[in-house]
Structure 1
Amino acid sequence: MKTKKQRIIETLLDRHGQTFAEELGANIPRNTPSPLFRVLCLALLTSAPVGAAQAMRACRALGEAGLTTPRKMADSSWQERVTILNEHGYARYDEKTASQLAVMTYHLQENYHGDLRYLREEADGNRDKARKRLKTFKGIGSVGADIFLREAQVCWPEFRPFADKMALKSAARLGLGDDVETLSQWVEPETFPRLVAALVRAQLNKDHQTIEKAAA
């Protein structure tokens, strides 16, 4: 017979087990420059004081407009980016974020040839080094760096298991442990990114009581 915690895990994955990269439409398992760049853009947009749904909507809109690579982002105009962001829920931060996207893209091209896999190589499996390098991008702070690593662990397994503060807070609320080592014991390594995303979604949706009732 399954324990209540095992049922909670299953319920979490059933209700919310989609990574944010998947929702964005970024094929992160490919570990190619474009999906990684799009996840970095999502990390930047999510770092602003806006709702997660607004950030996702705006980032999807950038992709639908074709701004899916550093070169295409660099070739876009500031006004084009402002318009896209403004029309998709980012009205208060559209101008600032449009500028940050340009600076971030320039930094990526100048320091990593437009390819975040070079950042991965420089980090050499060291999570702290990876976070430090991610935080050199304008607009990416601790939260943004953690968001990126949370998603990138799908294709960068040397950083797995990784869970950000929001995921661990959610896990503690559900009695699954408050540290990444404990949490990672509940699922296979390949499933862990989905579990972390599910915990973040549960926190964003204030869904814990519903999950606990469903798992009772």
Structure 2
Amino acid sequence: MSASYVLHCNNHIFWHANLTRTYMPPKDTRAAARRHGVRNGMDEREVKKVDSGYLGKDEDKSPAGDESKKSTTPKGIIKAIKLETLPNQHQKATPEQILEYLLSDAALQYCRPDDEARDIESHRADMITYSSQLLSPFEELLCAVVLSRPISHRLGLRTIRTILNKPYSLRDPLAIKTAGPKKVLKALEAACTQHKDKTADEISLLAEAVSNNDWHNDLSKLRAQSKNGVESEREVLRRSVKGLGKTGLDIFYRRVQWQWDEAFPFVDARTQAALGRMGLPKRAEEIEKLIESRWTDLNSGEGDGHDLETRKRRVFVVLLERAIGADLEKKIDQVLNEASKL
């Protein structure tokens, strides 16, 4: 029998072979069947269809004499795709492969916006980005305030790049207060972001809150006052920082937990959903076990210069960030495809 095709016809998909004589009964056999009334349950009209090799509907046949409408292909057939031409699907990647790939430099292209990579290439390699740099607790809090606004992931990261880098460099409370509200607003205008006025007010108020409470850039005094209790810290931040609600606090603690061990391990609901779509464990304890089981093979370089436990916490955070980044960029399939090749 000749090569099989998938035919899409009248909203049905069915298997069919090329209409050749290789599977039609010989003419003398068909003639004998008609002579003895053997039709295999078909009426005479259907038998004639088989004899002629035409299996379409009667109404599909062109009127006699209309040569332009005659066709040996049934009208309902839209296309035929050879099975041999279908692309090979990637084998399912294991959680270990996904972990290893996500922590590699190669994965970063799928976990951040394309314009971020272009900015780094066009400007300078030392550009501070939310996706790849180690940030101070204050910078993380500032980023959480920005990302709490109802703007896209891509626009939020562009805003962060603009305010943290030159010529604005709004990286600590003193820099923000020295710049003043007008320069903060100018930075947001340069980022072409949305809700500029409100975001500028919230950034200025954040700097005021940190300065007035004498929390400094590492927010260490906040932790001391809260006696390293996460719920107490969250409540103080919620009351002190305008515009910082549950979403912003989840973003902040997801990122800062490698530095604040009292918050570790923490996985927010949004990141759990991304991990699930990625095929990774969603519970914090299971992620810890996965990292521990592959630790000697990871060599991620994350958190170099810190003690072993801090480095493991840093890898935990990077894994969460890469997973949610790929999800927000809608590039999970690309990540899984590359991971399956390891």
TM-score, normalisation: structure 2: 0.55
Do the aligned residues in 2 keep the contact of 1:12 with 1:198 (CA within 8 Å)? yes
Q: Could you say what secondary structure the match of 1:186 adopts?
A: helix
- Structure 1 residues 213 and 27, CA, compared in 2 at 3 Å: closer, same or farther? closer
* 1:157 maps to which of 261, 274, 281: 261
Give the Cα separation in 1 of the matches to 2:223 and 2:108.
Answer: 28
Give the Cα separation in 1 of the matches to 2:226 and 2:256.
Answer: 13
Do structure 1's residue 101 and structure 2's residue 191 form an aligned pair? no
Q: Deviations 1:160-214 (Å, cap 9, x if unpaired)?
A: 1122222211111123223222222211433111111111112111222222222
Q: Could you say what secondary structure the match of 1:187 adopts?
A: helix
Give the Cα separation in 2 of the matches to 1:26 and 1:213.
Answer: 26
Bigger RCO of structures 1 and 2 (CA < 8 A, at least 6 apart)? 1
Letter in 2 for 1:204: L
In terms of fraction of residues, the more strand-rich structure is: 2
Do the aligned residues in 2 keep the contact of 1:12 with 1:195 (CA within 8 Å)? yes
What is the 5 A alignment of 1:11-30? 11-14=101-104, 15-16=107-108, 23-24=129-130, 27-28=134-135
Corresponding residue number in structure 1 for 2:97: 7
Corresponding residue number in structure 2 for 1:201: 325
TM-score, normalisation: structure 1: 0.84
Do the aligned residues in 2 keep the contact of 1:105 with 1:114 (CA within 8 Å)? no
In terms of fraction of residues, the more helix-rich structure is: 1
Do the aligned residues in 2 keep the contact of 1:170 with 1:199 (CA within 8 Å)? yes
* 2:151 maps to which of 46, 50, 57: 50
What is the 5 A alignment of 1:163-178? 163-178=267-282
Give the Cα separation in 1 of the matches to 2:133 and 2:97.
Answer: 29
* 1:144 maps to which of 238, 248, 251: 248
Corresponding residue number in structure 2 for 1:215: 339
Aligned residues: 205
Do structure 1's residue 110 and structure 2's residue 186 form an aligned pair? no
The unaligned stretches of length 5 or more in structure 2 are 1-92, 113-127, 293-311
Letter in 1 for 2:142: C
- Structure 1 residues 113 and 157, CA, compared in 2 at 3 Å: closer, same or farther? closer
Cα-Cα RMSD: 2.3
